[in-house]
Amino acid sequence: MARSNRSSIHDKVVWLTGSASGLGLHLTECFVRRGYNVVATDIAIDQLMKVAKERMWPQAQLSLHKLDVRNGDDWREIRDHTLSRWGGIDYLLNIAGVIQPGYLYDVSESDIDIHLDINVKGVMLGCQVVSEHMLQRGSGHIINIASTAGLAAVPGIGLYSASKFAVRAYTLALAEELRPYQVDVTVICPDAIETPMLDKQLDFDEAAMTFSGGKTLTVEDLERAIFSQVIKKKPLELCLPLDRSTMAKAANIFPGVTQYLSAQLRKKGLGELKRRRETSG
C-alpha cells in the first residue's frame, strides 16, 4: 500500500467530532483557519451550523454533518460522503465526550450507558470506520482525546474515568495494530480544560478532584500541543501537563498512593470549587 502524496495543508482533510462547542469547536476553528479541508460533526447540528455561519467558515473547505457517534451508519455515511468529495481522510480527531459527576454507588443505569456509548463506543466506531479507509490508502493519523482521568482512577467522576481508561487502552492497542500499515495513532491525555464540560462540574462536590490541580488547561494549550507536537511528531501518547500526568501515572502503578493523596486533593479541589462558585455567582 502506497502512502498518499497529499503534502499541502490545503489538500489535507481532517474530521473532527464534537465540533459545536468546547474543545471541539476551538479545534475545528483552528483547522479551518489554517486552510485544511474540514469535516465538522456534532449531534447538535443546528448549533454547529449557527456557529459556522457566525464565524464565516468558508464553504469551499467545509463539510458539516450531524453525527451521533453511537451510530455506525452515521459514521459510514459521512465517511463515504467525504471520500466522494475530497478523495481521502488524513486525520480523525475523536473529541466528543460527556461527563456526569456522581459516586459510583449512586449513579443511574442511564449514566452508565451514556458514558460507555459516547465516550467509548463512539471512539471505537469512528476509529474502525475511518481506519478501513486509512488502511487501504496506507496513511493517516487518528487522534483520540482521553484524559488524565484515564491514567489514574478519579473518585467522584468514576464513570468518566473508567471510560477514559478504556479510550486510552483501546488507542494504544489500535496503534500497534495499525503501525505496520503506516497509519499513526495518538492518544492525548489532558488534565481539566476550561470548557463547558468543566463548568458543568461546578455544581457537584463529587467532582472536587477535577479542580485539585490549581491552574487548568485552556483550549489554546491543546491547540499548541496538537499543531506543534501531535501532528508534526505523531507521538503515541501525549499527557498534559507533565506534573499532573506524572502523578496520575504513579498513582496508577501504586494504587495505595491514591488513598494517601485523595483527602488532600479533595480538600484542595473543594476550595477551588468554592472559589469558582463565588466568582461565577
Domain locations along the chain = 9-280
Report the CATH architecture of 9-280. Answer: 3-Layer(aba) Sandwich (3.40)
Question: Residue 62 class from Cβ within 10 Å (0-12 exposed, 13-18 middle, 19+ buried)?
Answer: middle
Would you state the cell numbers that stand for residue 21, as one nine-digit string?
462547542
101 phi and psi angles, rounded to 5 deg: -60, 155
**pLDDT of the chain, 281 residues: tens digit per residue:** 344 445 567 799 999 999 999 999 999 999 999 999 999 999 999 999 999 999 999 999 999 999 999 999 999 999 999 999 999 999 999 999 999 999 999 999 999 999 999 999 999 999 999 999 999 999 999 999 999 999 999 999 999 999 999 999 999 999 999 999 999 999 999 999 999 999 999 999 999 999 999 899 999 999 999 999 999 999 999 999 999 999 999 999 988 877 778 889 999 999 999 999 999 86
Residue 181 annotated among the catalytic residues of the structure = no
The pTM is what? 0.94
Q: How many other C-beta atoms are found inside a 10 Å radius of the C-beta of residue 121?
A: 18
Q: How many other C-beta atoms are found inside a 10 Å radius of the C-beta of residue 157?
A: 27
- Active-site residue identified among 160, 170, 181, 260: 160
pLDDT of residue 4: 45
Q: What is the DSSP letter of 156?
A: T
| Residue 200: closest CA among 47, 48, 98, 271 | 98
